[in-house]
């Protein structure tokens, strides 16, 4: 476009020279000026900031990270720049995932992995992030386009696939295992997986992958009626996995029977989605940069502005085999964990001044631990705090094998069975 405009100025110039009548020169000059203005506008539109090598805390208008690095000066975060080492995978780049991706991009996260199989539609425009001119693009492509412009420092990887299919799941797993970004990292290649999907099947697939990879993840959701949502931290073996108990939903706070359920066109609000994305990324930053208290479950009921919280222990009878393995490992690692906790307490105690001890203790008052750190706040899966309910029922116990029905065939060969069905299908 720039070259085109430059050619146009040259053409105008030669036109001016070839014109014998100088009375037209004034209007040609005016045209030239306008073309020059256009050229300037085109220049500024394509300006993209160059990559930044180190995050600086220098307070100047041109530093994209000055306000973030100020978190260190304020004593909130010890080392903000560590954020550049972290990789976060975002599964589902919709109303919540795209906003979470933008927040992390603006925070200068090291690397983002994005997964979605959908396309941008005009029906998505009531939510944040995507623009109308991106309609028809895949959500992953559109997101990469915008995010790379916002912050070129972030390494973006996108995967256009459905993680619930066998093939998509394998690609998903291998992309999480890939450690080329930071080969020295222990475990998988990502620090956190954020589930921002809109259905149970995809959540269960993320749960399966994270249980198998022993990968900490956070789940998020917004209700179909757009007025409530939640975020949840899942650490395989340590907290309840997504299959340990039927999924929790925040009760809407109004009589369920008055809710209309016609069609599946879910309602959505940019506000609720933005709030949930904000809660999710806040919890992510606290988890990665180690500040504040990381929430294990935080609900949001917008009708009553009620935020229930809870913690859930894993279910020893969980139906997910990988979850049970992680639970076993977590129990086995308990002595090491206790020792580490003790060492940390001693280190803190030795650094603290001991002037609070009193010389005499007439009443034999002593300070005791009021709880075992492993059982803090954890409730069993069936005792839910007010405002939370289960979305699906538990599987019934069914120990005895089903009685063979009258039509049970003695054939036990897959090919024969397949042929038998084909024969039935043929007529």
Partner 1 sequence: MEGWDPNTKSTLTQIPLLSTKAGPRDGAAWTQRLKEEYKALIAYTQMNKSNDNDWFRISAANPEGTRWTGKCWYVHNLLKYEFDLQFDIPVTYPATAPELELPQLDGKTQKMYRGGKICLTVHFKPLWAKNCPRFGIAHALCLGLAPWLAAEIPILVDSGMIKHKDDVSGSSES
Q: Just list the catalytic residues.
A: 265
Q: What is the DSSP letter of 392?
A: S
Per-residue x/- mask for partner 1, residues 230 to 259, rule CB under 8 A?
-------------x--x-------------
Residues composing the chain: 427
Contact 298, 283 (CB under 8 A): yes
Question: Is 401 among the residues that bind partner 1 (CB under 8 A)?
Answer: yes
Closer by beta carbon to partner 1, 41 or else 266: 266
The token pair at 69 is 């690095």
Q: How far is CA 410 from the centre of its chain?
A: 49
Q: Is 343 exposed, middle or buried (0-12, 13-18, 19+ CB in 10 A)?
A: exposed
Closer by beta carbon to partner 1, 247 or else 278: 247
Among 28, 31, 204, 378, binds partner 1 (CB under 8 A): 204
Q: ∠29-31-35 over CA atoms, to 5°?
A: 115
Q: Rounded to whole angstroms, what are the CA distances from 191 to 149, 200, 220, 285?
A: 24, 23, 17, 11
Stretch that binds partner 1, among 60-68, 326-334, 365-373, 405-413 (CB under 8 A): 405-413
- What's the closest the beta carbon of residue 305 comes to partner 1, in angstroms? 27
Per-residue x/- mask for partner 1, residues 166 to 185, rule CB under 8 A?
x--x----------------
Contact 388, 308 (CB under 8 A): yes
Closest CA to 140 of 70, 90, 211, 212: 90
Question: Is 387 among the residues that bind partner 1 (CB under 8 A)?
Answer: no
- CA-to-CA distance for 206 and 218, rounded, in angstroms? 10
Closest CA to 144 of 159, 124, 128, 164: 159
Torsion of CA 319, 325, 330, 336, to 10 degrees: 170
Among 29, 174, 271, 420, binds partner 1 (CB under 8 A): 420
Stretch that binds partner 1, among 146-154, 174-182, 205-213, 288-296 (CB under 8 A): 205-213
Per-residue x/- mask for partner 1, residues 310 to 349, rule CB under 8 A?
---------xx-----------------------------
Question: Is 395 among the residues that bind partner 1 (CB under 8 A)?
Answer: yes
Question: Is 260 among the residues that bind partner 1 (CB under 8 A)?
Answer: no
Closer by beta carbon to partner 1, 367 or else 414: 414
Closer by beta carbon to partner 1, 124 or else 283: 124
CA 115, 230, 297, 83 torsion-angle sign:
positive
Closest CA to 54 of 26, 24, 34, 82: 82
- CA-to-CA distance for 236 and 255, rounded, in angstroms? 35
Q: Which helix (H) or strand (E) holds 44?
A: helix 25-45
- What's the closest the beta carbon of residue 196 comes to partner 1, in angstroms? 16
Q: Taking CB under 8 A as the criterion, which residues in 38-77 touch partner 1?
A: none
- What's the closest the beta carbon of residue 427 comes to partner 1, in angstroms? 8
Closer by beta carbon to partner 1, 158 or else 208: 208
- CA-to-CA distance for 300 and 203, rounded, in angstroms? 19
Question: Is 145 among the residues that bind partner 1 (CB under 8 A)?
Answer: no
Question: Is 118 among the residues that bind partner 1 (CB under 8 A)?
Answer: yes
Q: 195 in helix, strand or coil?
A: strand
- What's the closest the beta carbon of residue 209 comes to partner 1, in angstroms? 9
Q: ∠59-62-63 over CA atoms, to 5°?
A: 55
Query: Strand 228-234 relative to strand 217-222: parallel, antiparallel, unpaired?
Result: antiparallel
Per-residue x/- mask for partner 1, residues 73 to 112, rule CB under 8 A?
----------------------------------------
Among 164, 223, 301, 302, binds partner 1 (CB under 8 A): 164
Stretch that binds partner 1, among 15-23, 198-206, 340-348, 367-375 (CB under 8 A): 198-206
As beta bridge partners, residue 158 has 114
Question: Is 205 among the residues that bind partner 1 (CB under 8 A)?
Answer: yes
Closer by beta carbon to partner 1, 15 or else 421: 421
- CA-to-CA distance for 23 and 33, rounded, in angstroms? 17
Count residues binding partner 1 (CB under 8 A).
45
| Residues in contact with partner 1 by the rule CB under 8 A | 118, 163-166, 169, 199-201, 204-205, 207-208, 243, 246, 261-265, 319-320, 392-396, 398, 401-402, 404-409, 412, 414, 417-418, 420-422, 424-425
């Amino acid at each position: 476009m720039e070259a085109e405009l430059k050619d146009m100025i040259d053409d105008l110039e030669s036109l001016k020279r070839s014109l014998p009548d100088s009375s037209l020169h004034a209007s040609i000059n005016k045209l030239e000026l306008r073309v020059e203005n256009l050229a300037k506008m085109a220049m500024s539109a394509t300006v993209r900031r160059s990559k930044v090598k180190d995050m600086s805390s220098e307070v100047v208008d041109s530093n994209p990270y000055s306000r973030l690095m100020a978190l260190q000066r304020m004593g909130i975060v010890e080392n903000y720049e560590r954020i550049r080492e972290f990789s976060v995978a975002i599964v589902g780049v919709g109303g919540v995932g795209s906003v979470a991706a933008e927040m992390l991009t603006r925070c200068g996260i090291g690397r983002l992995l994005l997964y979605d199989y959908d396309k941008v539609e005009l029906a998505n425009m009531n939510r944040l992030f995507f623009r109308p001119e991106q309609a028809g693009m895949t959500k992953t492509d559109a997101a990469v386009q915008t995010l790379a412009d916002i912050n070129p420092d972030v390494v973006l990887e996108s995967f256009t696939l459905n993680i619930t299919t066998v093939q998509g799941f394998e690609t998903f797993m291998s992309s999480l295992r890939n450690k080329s970004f930071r080969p020295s990292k222990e475990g998988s290649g990502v620090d956190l997986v954020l589930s921002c999907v809109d259905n149970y099947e995809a959540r269960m697939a993320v749960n399966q992958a994270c249980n198998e990879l022993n990968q900490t993840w956070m789940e998020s959701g917004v209700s179909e009626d757009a007025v409530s949502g939640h975020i949840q931290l899942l650490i395989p073996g340590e907290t309840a996995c997504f299959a340990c108990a039927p999924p929790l939903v925040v009760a809407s706070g109004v009589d369920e029977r008055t809710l209309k359920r016609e069609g599946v066109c879910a309602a959505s609000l940019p506000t609720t989605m933005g709030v949930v994305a904000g809660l999710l990324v806040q919890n992510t930053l606290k988890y990665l940069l180690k500040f504040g208290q990381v929430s294990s479950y935080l609900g949001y009921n917008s009708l009553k502005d009620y935020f229930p919280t809870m913690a859930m222990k894993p279910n020893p009878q969980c139906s997910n085999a990988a979850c049970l393995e992680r639970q076993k490992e977590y129990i086995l690692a308990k002595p090491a964990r206790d020792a580490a906790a003790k060492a940390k307490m001693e280190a803190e105690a030795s650094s603290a001044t001991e002037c609070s001890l009193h010389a005499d203790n007439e009443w034999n008052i002593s300070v005791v631990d009021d709880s075992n750190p492993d059982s803090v706040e954890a409730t069993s899966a069936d005792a839910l705090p007010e405002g939370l309910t289960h979305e699906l029922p538990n599987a019934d116990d069914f120990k005895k094998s089903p009685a063979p029905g009258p039509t049970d065939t003695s054939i036990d060969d897959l090919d024969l069975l397949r042929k038998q069905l084909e024969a039935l299908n043929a007529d």
